[in-house]
Amino acid sequence: MRQALLIFNKEFKDYFTSPIAYIVIAIFMAVTGWLFFSTFFIFDQADLRRFFTLLPLLLALVVPIITMRLFSEELNVGSYELLLTLPVTFRDIIIGKFLAAVAFVAAILLPSLSYPIFISFIGDIDWGRTIGSYFGALLLGAAYAGIGLFASSLTRNQIIACIVAMVICVALAIMDQMLFFFPQTILDVITYLSANAHFTNVAKGILDSRDLLYFLSVAFLGLYATHVVMEEK
Amino acid sequence: MIHVEGLTKYYDELCAVDHINLDIKTGEIVGLLGPNGAGKTTTLRMLTGYFQPSDGDIQVKEFSIHENPLAIKRLIGYLPESAPLYKGMIVYDYLDHVARIRGLAPEAKQKRLKELADMCGLRDIMHKTIETLSKGLKQRVGLAHAMMSDPEILILDEPTSGLDPNQIIEIREIIRKIGEQKTVILSTHILSEAEATCDRIVIINKGKIVADGNTQELTAGKGHERHIQIGLLGADADAVRDRLKTINGVKSIDATAGGMAKETRATVICQGEKDIRTDLYTAIKQTDWVLVEMTQETQTLETIFRELTREN
């Protein structure tokens, strides 16, 4: 576990040594700020529900950008060889990199805390619900990060890793709005698999263990698949 | 120290390393020599635990690569070809990161970083980003990476490839210094380098070991042919052939009758360890031929390498 933390440490710091981190955070803030506040005053409600409903799709686009380099870059440069010949296990590497990505998702969400703070000046905001929703958003980010990490372990090309992860994440995010296209019999399955459906509760401020279990399982599946890929290489 | 038995690696159908057996003693500097694609890098990658062998076993001290790869990784410092380091990191941060992963305690870490900075000549570049470094400097950072935990075994894959002659000599000196106490395995296709730095040379071709020994043993031509050139005046080619053929150890003679100065030139091909030059001279002295030249072509590592790794 110590080794995993050291890898986490390195990967997390790496995010902030390149300008990409700051660009991603700035764009995320600009897009959410615009989409959220453009309708905020129309609805005249002092809550963040509309902000949170944006997150499944937005994070599905942002998280793959965060995770794409985690393995692809190492495979491309060849530093993967150095990493694997250090006394670390596959598990240390995967957990370290995954936690770094999740921590960076947290770093992206952090500035958006200014929204509830701002709203609390103009109306009453339910802080318990807000914190709960943020926690759920982090789990959603973790699920996407698991997928992103897996995509990154598949190829040495960062762009391909990014696109593969985006396709999967966006599919999970919009699946429940496409129910129209699916046969009646599998509608329940599709709804269950959809990240958006699970996040609707979270956006309302309800933390249901079934939703949390869903996010954690998706993340775990991604990490497990990564482990399999590493063993195969 | 290292015991390799029946080591084999397949890439799909292609057999890159074919049942290699090798024993390496503590303190040896072993050079793995071979043409490109012979299986040097694959062998090293299996030794370091980066690749899983398709078959066979590697034992380092009492650990087996199958049961305890982590313990082996702790004993080995590895520098892959062309030092693929994290490009965006600062040299100090990078080495610091490696030191932590290698489990060095904070005070020991500081001391070790200083030592390595002096040993590998990194003092002036500690604050630089790795991607801005020249190839030689990167190689030195890679060497520092490999030596971080003061490992008992150092494995270097083409440590001098792509460096200029000055850098090559610097790196070689560092390797020789390390080799005084440690076991070093390095791969190269530069023959002079193997001759200059290694105690023992293992030549690999097409995944198999084709020669193994120190430079003297290899060049002494155990089992190899030696050629002796002779120049004679007043001799007939056939007579020369008949006379010298009787000498013990001579395999064949290739004699051509004289050119302008009526000199007969003969190439005596002999086998075995015995030096037959005395016998040749004695045999010639008994005739009225004049011996104007006699040279033995010594086998260099290069000719042996060519002979062993030549395509049919």
pLDDT tens-place string over residues B112-131:
999 899 888 888 999 999 99
Total domain count, chain B: 2
Percent of chain B residues past pLDDT 70, beyond the cut: 96
User: pLDDT at position B295, please?
Assistant: 87
The pLDDT score that the predictor gives to residue A109 is: 93
Q: How far apart are CA B206 and CA B189, in angstroms?
A: 14
Side by side, which strands form the sheet with B290-297?
B250-256, B263-271, B225-233, B290-297
Q: How far is A52 from chain B (nearest CA, A)?
A: 35
What's the rounded Cα separation, in Å, for the pair A79 and B82?
Answer: 10
pLDDT surpassing 60 at residue B312: no
Cβ-defined contact of A14 to B45 (cutoff 8 Å): no
Burial string for A63-102 (b: 16+ CB within 10 Å, else e) reads: bbbbbbbbbbbbbebbbbbbbbbbbbeeebbbbbbbbbbb
Same domain membership, residue B294 and residue B187:
no
Q: What local confidence, expressed as pLDDT, does residue B259 receive? A: 60
Q: Which residues span the domain enclosing B49?
A: 2-219
CB within 8 Å: B73 and A77? no
List the single range of A12-21, A85-94, B5-14, B217-226 with lowest mean pLDDT. B217-226
**pLDDT at position B104 over 70:** yes
Distance CA A181, CA A173 (A): 15
Handedness of CA B34, B37, B38, B39 (dihedral sign): positive
Number of compact structural domains in chain A: 1
Give the Cα-Cα-Cα angle B147, A95, A84 (nearest 5 degrees).
Answer: 30
Considering the domain architecture, whether residues B153 and B171 belong to the same structural domain is answered as: yes
Q: In this predicted structure, what is the pLDDT of residue A47?
A: 76
> Within 10 A of A210 (CB to CB), how many other CB atoms are there?
9
A105-108 LR contacts (CB < 8 Å, sep 24+): A105/A59, A105/A63, A105/A66, A105/A138, A105/A141, A105/A142, A105/A144, A105/A145, A106/A138, A106/A141, A107/A15, A107/A21, A107/A25, A108/A24, A108/A25, A108/A28, A108/A62, A108/A66, A108/A141
The arithmetic mean of pLDDT across residues B83-93, rounded, is 90
Residues of B in contact with A7 (CB under 8 A): 101
Q: What range does the domain containing A226 cover?
A: 2-232
Select the residue of B82, B88, B98 nearest A14 (Cβ to Cβ).
Answer: B88
pLDDT tens digits in sequence order for chain A, 233 residues long:
789 999 999 999 999 888 888 999 999 999 998 988 888 777 777 778 888 888 999 999 999 999 999 999 999 999 999 999 999 999 999 999 999 999 999 999 999 999 889 888 888 888 888 888 899 999 999 999 999 999 999 999 999 999 999 999 999 999 888 878 888 888 888 888 888 888 888 878 788 888 889 999 999 999 999 999 998 87
pLDDT of residue A67: 94
Digit-coded pLDDT (tens) for B34-63 = 888 888 899 999 999 898 888 888 998 889
Boundary residue ending a domain (B201, B219, B237): B219
Task: Report, as an integer, the average pLDDT of B183-201.
Answer: 86
What is the per-residue pLDDT for B221?
Answer: 57
Which residues on chain B are in Cβ contact (under 8 Å) with A82?
Answer: 78, 80, 84-85, 145
Domain end among B200, B219, B238: B219
pLDDT higher than 80, residue B69: yes
Amino acid A70: pLDDT: 93
CATH number reported for the structural domain that contains residue B287 in this entry? 3.30.70.1340
Residues B234-241 have a mean pLDDT of 83
pLDDT at B262: 74
Q: What value does the mean pLDDT take over residues B264-274?
A: 80
The residue among B271 and A85 whose pLDDT is bigger is: A85
Q: Would the CB atoms of B78 and A82 count as touching at under 8 Å? A: yes
Q: Look at residue B224 in the predicted model and tell me its pLDDT.
A: 63
ipTM over 0.95: no
For residue B236, is pLDDT > 60?
A: yes
Beta strands in B25-110 (DSSP E): 29-33, 55-60, 63-64, 76-79
Of the residues B219, B247, B271, the one at which a domain ends: B219
* pLDDT given at position B258: 65
Which residues from B are below 8 Å from A87, CB to CB?
Answer: 70, 73-74, 101-103
Is the same domain home to B88 and B188? yes
| Strand locations in chain B (E) | 2-11, 14-24, 29-33, 55-60, 63-64, 76-79, 153-157, 183-188, 200-205, 208-213, 225-233, 250-256, 263-271, 290-297
Q: Tens of pLDDT along B146-190? A: 999 889 999 999 888 778 888 888 888 888 888 888 899 999 878
For residues B260 and B275, state if they share a domain: yes
Lookup result for tokens 């390496």: B24
Residues of A with CB under 8 A from a CB of B: 3, 6-7, 9-10, 13-14, 17-18, 77-79, 81-82, 84-89
> Which amino acid type is present at position B298?
T
CATH number, position B76: 3.40.50.300
Predicted local confidence at residue B222, as pLDDT: 53
Question: Maximum distance among all alpha carbons in chain B?
Answer: 83
Determine the Cα–Cα distance for residues B3 and B21; give it in Å rounded to an integer. Answer: 8
The total number of residues shown for chain B amounts to 312
Judgement on whether residues B49 and B167 belong to the same structural domain of the protein = yes
Q: pLDDT band at B242, cuts 50/70/90?
A: confident
Measured CA to CA, the distance from residue B309 to residue A69 in angstroms comes to: 41
| Pair B117, B262 in one domain | no
A7, A17, A89 ranked by CB distance to B70: nearest: A89
Any CB–CB contact under 8 A between B98 and chain A?
yes
**φ, ψ dihedrals at A18, nearest 5°:** -110, 155
B141 and B63 within one domain? yes
Tell me the residue ranges of DSSP E strands in B93-224.
153-157, 183-188, 200-205, 208-213
